[in-house]
Amino acid sequence: MKLCIKCGKELADHARFCSGCGCAQEEQSTQYRHTAQPGGYQQPATQVVPPQPQRQYVPPRNQVSPNPFEGSDWDGSVFDTFINSLAASLIIVLTCGIATPWAICYMMKFVISHATIDGKRLIFTGTGGSLFGNWIKWFLLTVITCGIYGFWVYPRLYQWVVRNLHFAN
């Protein structure tokens, strides 16, 4: 329901002329509710603004990037992972931590041998002997710096692991 812009008479929403005064009705984004004033003068009392429809977000089309890891997988089992983790832990405990580099290499060979990237199988070529020198260096630096160098041990270890990763041919 809308009101006449001149006399304030109620009109149908689709009316183009007022049935009371004959005034042409213009398309307006707002409607006025008029109140009668003394002397025939009418003044808009309140302004009613109809709600504007909210535009919804539409994602851009044809810009969806494909999953870069679609052909990647890890096919190990829970049981095998548990047994290999237990074996690596026993190696560390029984040698009082001296064989930790060999236990790390044992676990890395297990984990990496079950991994594929883009459908290609990975292999790990690192050995405990090649990690042992770095492990002693990292341990001594951690002791000398009262544990501060310990924050750099994991990134250095990961760098060493990645340098020993290769695709199986």
Q: Where are the domains of the chain?
A: 2-48, 73-167
* Tens digit of each residue's pLDDT, the chain (169 residues): 677 777 777 878 777 777 777 777 765 444 444 455 555 555 555 666 666 666 666 666 655 556 666 778 889 999 999 999 999 999 999 999 999 999 999 999 999 999 998 888 999 999 999 999 999 999 999 999 999 999 999 999 999 999 999 998 7
Q: Where are the alpha helices (DSSP H) in 7-149?
A: 78-94, 100-113, 128-144
Query: How far apart, in whole angstroms, are the C-alpha atoms of residue 2 and residue 72?
Result: 63
**Closest C-alpha to 124, from 166, 74, 159, 85:** 166
Query: How far apart, in whole angstroms, are the C-alpha atoms of residue 43 and residue 6?
Result: 10
Say if CB 7 and CB 18 are below 8 A apart.
yes
What would you report as the CA-atom Rg of the chain, rounded to the nearest whole angstrom?
A: 39
Query: How far apart, in whole angstroms, are the C-alpha atoms of residue 145 and residue 118?
Result: 42
